[in-house]
Amino acid sequence: MKKFFAIMLAAIMVLAAFAGCTKPEPNKPEEKPDEGNKVAMKVALVTDVGNIDDKSFNQGAWEGVVKFCEEKGLKQGEGYNYYRPSEDSTEARVETIKNAINDGANMVVCPGYLFEEALYTVQVDHPETMFMLLDGEPHDKDYNYKTEANVHNILYQEEQAGYLAGYAAVKDGYKKLGFLGGMAVPAVIRYGYGFVQGANAAAEEMGIAGEVSVKYWYAGGFAPTDDIKVKMAGWYSDGTEIVFSCGGGIYLSAVAAAEAAGAKVIGVDVDQSAESECIVTSAMKGLTNSVVIALQNAWDNNGKWSADYAGKTTVLGAKDDCVGLPTAEGSWRLSTFTVDQYNELFAKVKDGTITISNDTENAPAVTITVDYNA
């Protein structure tokens, strides 16, 4: 045993010495701090339950935090950090937010609706701390909504993203489409109905409304399962050419089925093109962008929300460049529908020429065939 400890100790010392050597180079000359900010801003992102590499909300928001803070010369560990709660409960999220505040954070980014209840209490306990809530609004257990002045909520026009994806798919020549939703929550429904409206618009333009059909299904969860994969495989073998997979990790099931069938998938929330060759495009929410926009607001305002942000909810969409399809080379895998055509379409959505219904109660009236019992 003694020998063992001796070896361990020696190993520690050697490694410590190494670690000392490989310490990162002294930081590159720092960018000149933005003069607009008088108060040192310290940003903390608390993940909802997963990690910052979840290819979804946490990651998108975190990338926004990193982008903004690096631009302003803030460093990770000093100017910005992330925290992960110990379990999937409101109590744990509250605890973690408080830990961040104890560590000196004065701007807490909360990605996702799971923070709604947590922020309801924390916003009162910490009036000096600014909070940003993505995709939700604070409420208590009985769904009494209240947003204090130190909180800014951000919602998205998912129907626009869905519309763009549906339109692009049909324009690109796909006629048999599918929509795979995680669960019938409002955000997912808006994606889905938007997708149907976009496909319909393109089909009517092209005069092929009779030929285009959409299979529409909610999986009942956000986790990839074999059931979903089997269902998707069934769709693909029935002739479905492309499926808009909408929610959490279920794209994994859809991708697996698509790869096996040689068919296509449309991603969601963030640019998922790196996940698989079969993801031809993604209906993105500009999480990163929206976080940057909101942080800039506080930055310009001595670290506090401006009057039009404080206690308010903004709904971000095409007009703010916070929804869209990825147009970068490598992400754009549509063939007949070009980036230029897309930009033209996007501009119309942005300036309001095209309006898209965000009604989640009633299915949109369309001329293409939509099978809601697929």
Query: In the complex, which residues of this chain contact another protein (CB under 8 A)?
Result: 1, 8, 11-12, 15-16, 18-20, 23, 44, 51, 77, 81-84, 86-92, 95-96, 99-100, 103, 113-114, 139, 141-143, 183-186, 220-223, 225
Compare residues 83 and 217 and give the one whose CB is closer to another protein: 83
For another protein, give the closer residue by CB, 52 or 354: 52
In whole angstroms, the minimum distance from the beta carbon of 10 to another protein comes to 11
Q: Residue by residue, what is the 3-state secondary structure of 257-324?
A: HHHHHCCEEEEEECCCCCCCCCEEEEEEECHHHHHHHHHHHHHCCCCCCCCCCCCCEEEECHHHCCEE
Residue 314 in contact with residue 155, Cβ under 8 Å?
yes
Closest approach, Cβ 268 to another protein, in A, equals: 16
Contact 371, 239 (CB under 8 A): no
* Bridge pairing between strands 279-285 and 130-134: unpaired
**Which C-beta is closer to another protein: that of 73 or that of 186?**
186
- Residue linked to tokens 């969409």: 317
User: From the CB of 140, what's the least distance to another protein, in Å?
Assistant: 9
Find all residues with CB under 8 Å of 23, minimum gap 6, and list them.
none
Q: What is the closest distance, in whole angstroms, from the C-beta atom of residue 328 to another protein in the complex?
A: 29
Rounded distance between C-alpha atoms, residue 304 and residue 183, angstroms: 36
Closer residue to another protein, CB minimum distance, 156 or 174: 156
- In the complex with another protein, which residue's Cβ is closer, 115 or 244? 115
Question: Given the complex with another protein, which of 221 and 364 has the nearer CB atom?
Answer: 221
List the beta strands (DSSP E) in 165-263.
176-181, 213-218, 242-246
Q: In the complex, what is the shortest distance from the CB of residue 248 to another protein, in angstroms, rounded to a whole number?
A: 9
Least CB distance to another protein at residue 273 (A): 26
**Which residue number, 18 or 372, has a Cβ lying nearer to another protein?**
18
Residue in this structure with the two tokens 């993940």, named with its chain if needed: 47
- The nearest distance, CB 229 to another protein, in angstroms, is 14
Question: What's the start-to-end Cα distance of the chain, in Å?
Answer: 65
Q: Which helix (H) or strand (E) holds 41?
A: none
CA 314 – CA 153 distance, rounded (Å): 6
